[in-house]
Amino acid sequence: MKTVHQQVDSVAELLSLLRQGGVLRGYAFCGLDFPDEAVECRFERCLFMGCRLSPFHHFAMGEECYVFPSLPKPYHTFLAHLYTPEELYDRYDPASPESFDECYDTRVYRHYISTGKEPDSVGEHLARSMHDHSVSVALHDMLDRYPERGVVAVMGGHSLARTDATYRSVALISKRLTEAGLLVCTGGGPGAMEAAHLGAWLAGRADSVVDEALEALSVAPTYKDSAWLSSAWAVRERWPRGEEWSSVGIPTWFYGHEPATPFASHVAKYFDNSIREDGLLAIAKGGVIYSPGSAGTMQEIFQDAAQNHYATFGPSAPMVFLGTDYWSREVPIYPLLADLLSRGKYKDLRLTLSDSPDEIVATFLANLG
């Protein structure tokens, strides 16, 4: 008999189930410390992932119960939820720049590099796979809160300066999409990605606050500037995020030299970059915004075009290019795609080229149907 496991990842939910008593069947318990009273229940067809169990708990397990212990790593083998910036930067003190070296994110990156991007150790490879799987589960749990076409991805260069006009445009677009109830997702790094999360962070406030925040961030235009993170932390503290506004960053330790933006409310950080890259485009069923970028952004454009052409993840979604001059002259991908579409080499591409945040936002709102 096929069992679809219902995930339980909070102590409150676990205690509620235990109070019911009897047989608990078809649950997946993630990262929980099981209390003594759990032995009064019977478990069948359950998964215990990274849970703290006593020998007595094992006696309460019936048929088809499996225990997956956490492996001793500097990262969580099983995650019950997406990361937050506070977790990634757990030991960061803006007044002590050197504290960045002791953060969870930095510690994991050092371990990742020391054990190899392609580890020889079977145990390391297994631990990373379990970590990434739990991240994917937590990510899709969050996506279920939004309509299928309510998830929009923002792509663009990591080197885009905070002082660039395009950075402001991306922030305003993301702010308005978030205020309209859409979920903005990015690769979770600096540059255009950070701009998108800044806009979502400031949702619900006047547009003038965006300009005030940009002025505060201008002391460190790029992530290579020493005050990049501390200035972002100052903006977070000055304008706290409203709980109703969210955005998801999806970075990877493969590019761990680029810091994860502290403006994303939720962070799905992966070890495996291929899962992360393919997954970001796969979940963006509401469409993708392409701000100016280089090789990585161009790769994403053609990957997205192929997915839309073949309807890999459902109906074609908007491909919106921010920057008329950039995408039509400096990097003329837009006229190329338009030409290929007109000659039938691509089908079902929904292309937009614009410099107007209002026009771009309207395109995605119209796509909601």
pLDDT average, residue stretch 275-298: 94
Higher-scoring residue by pLDDT: 70, 94: 94
Instruction: For residue 123, give the H/E element and its range.
Output: helix 122-143
pLDDT-derived band at 4, boundaries 50, 70, 90: confident
Residues 6+ apart with CB under 8 A from 358: none
pLDDT-derived band at 369, boundaries 50, 70, 90: confident
Distance of CA 282 to the CA centre of its chain: 12
pLDDT tens digits, 119-142: 999 999 999 999 999 999 999 999
Beta-strand relationship, 66-68 and 6-8: unpaired
Domain ranges of the chain: 6-68, 147-367
Question: Please, what is the angle between helix 192-201 and helix 228-238, to 10°?
Answer: 20
pLDDT-derived band at 362, boundaries 50, 70, 90: very high
pLDDT beyond 90 at 73: yes
Read off the pTM: 0.93
**How high is the pLDDT of residue 277?**
86
Q: Hey, what CATH class is 147-367 in? A: alpha beta
- C-alpha 94/C-alpha 24 separation (Å) is 47
Specify the 3-state DSSP secondary structure of 290: strand
pLDDT average, residue stretch 26-52: 92
pLDDT tens digits, 255-270: 999 999 999 999 999 9
**How high is the pLDDT of residue 2?**
60
Planar angle of CA 141, 109, 233, nearest 5 degrees: 70
Mean pLDDT of the chain: 95
pLDDT beyond 90 at 245: yes
Residue with tokens 């504290």: 99
Specify the 3-state DSSP secondary structure of 15: helix
Higher-scoring residue by pLDDT: 278, 205: 205
pLDDT tens digits, 208-217: 999 999 999 9
pLDDT average, residue stretch 32-57: 92
* For the chain, percent of residues with pLDDT exceeding 90: 91
**How high is the pLDDT of residue 341?**
98
pLDDT beyond 70 at 94: yes
Residues 6+ apart with CB under 8 A from 188: 197, 248, 249, 250, 251, 260, 261, 264, 267, 268, 269
Query: Minimal CA–CA distance to 79: which of 39, 162, 125, 137?
Result: 137
**How high is the pLDDT of residue 80?**
87
- Does residue 285 contact residue 317 with C-beta atoms inside 8 Å? yes
Residues 6+ apart with CB under 8 A from 129: 272
DSSP-derived secondary structure letter, 329:
I
- Does residue 169 contact residue 163 with C-beta atoms inside 8 Å? no
pLDDT beyond 60 at 1: no
**How high is the pLDDT of residue 3?**
65
pLDDT beyond 90 at 306: yes
